[in-house]
A and B are shown apart, each in its own frame.
Chain A
Amino acid sequence: NAGVMQNPRHLVRRRGQEARLRCSPMKGHSHVYWYRQLPEEGLKFMVYLQKENIIDESGMPKERFSAEFPKEGPSILRIQQVVRGDSAAYFCASSPQGAGANVLTFGAGSRLTVL
Chain B
Amino acid sequence: AQSVTQLGSHVSVSEGALVLLRCNYSSSVPPYLFWYVQYPNQGLQLLLKYTSAATLVKGINGFEAEFKKSETSFHLTKPSAHMSDAAEYFCAVSVGNFGNEKLTFGTGTRLTIIP
Residues of chain A at the chain B interface (Cβ within 8 Å):
4, 6, 31, 33, 35, 40-45, 48, 55-56, 59, 91, 95, 98-102, 104, 106-109, 111
Contacts and interface: CB of A to CB of B under 8 A. Distances in A.
Dominant secondary structure at the B interface: loop
A87 B96 CA distance: 30
A4 B103 CA distance: 17
A104 B20 CA distance: 25
B76 to A, nearest CB: 15
B25 interface: no
Interface in B73-103: 90, 92, 94, 96-103
9 contacts: A41-B107, A43-B92, A100-B96, A100-B100, A101-B34, A101-B101, A102-B94, A104-B46, A109-B42
Contacts of B51: 102
B104 interface: yes
B106 A101 contact: no
A71 to B, nearest CB: 21
B67 interface: no
A74 to B, nearest CB: 16
Please list the 9 inter-chain residue pairs (A to B) with the smallest Cβ-Cβ separation, ordered nearest first.
A42-B105, A101-B94, A108-B43, A106-B43, A106-B44, A101-B101, A43-B105, A42-B107, A45-B102
A81 to B, nearest CB: 27
Contacts of A42: 4, 90, 105-108
Contacts of A59: 102
Contacts of A4: 43
A44 to B, nearest CB: 7
